[in-house]
Structure 1
């Protein structure tokens, strides 16, 4: 059995606002920590049947990149949901919403 580890290192300012977010993985070809401006981590709590979440972004994350980050996240959630459930019809609806979201947020697809 193989074990992989994902490590997140968050540097906070005096008000606990993220200054930097670094991530690394034992499975990554790149063996050094990489900087990111934002992250969303969702974990399923099977005991309580709900989601545990950590959403963080640095002070340096521009609004236009945050909009794009949400758009890309919604798109990849659709991919994941399709692979996990095979529910093509609802994923098509999600894709339609993503197109609407991109239009309203003026995101170039």
Structure 2
């Protein structure tokens, strides 16, 4: 059985606010730690039937980049949901919402 490990390193300031975050994976072609400004991780606990989440961002994460990060996360959640369930109709609704979100947040989706 193949195994892979994902490692996230978070450097905190005196108030425990993330200053720097790095991630790496044993299964990645890039063997170096990659700096990131924000991360969202969700895990499904099947015993308790609930979601465990970790949402972190560095104190210097620009607001415009955070808006784009949320937009792209919503889009990719739709991709994952479609792949996992085949529910095309609801994913189209999510795509419509993503377009609305982008418009309200002033996000240029052509990038």
Aligned twin of 1:57: 57
Task: Count how many residue pairs are aligned between Structure 1 and Structure 2.
Answer: 109
Scaled by the length of structure 2, the TM-score of the pair is 0.97
- Which runs of structure 2 are paired with 1:9-24 in the superposition (5 Å)? 9-24=9-24
Moved over 4 A (4+): none
Deviation at 1:60, TM superposition (A): 1.3
Distance 1:50 1:106 in 2: 33
Scaled by the length of structure 1, the TM-score of the pair is 0.99
CA-based RMSD of the aligned residues comes to 0.4
Aligned twin of 2:96: 96
Aligned twin of 1:87: 87
For structure 1, the 5+ residue unaligned runs are none
Distance 1:43 1:2 in 2: 20
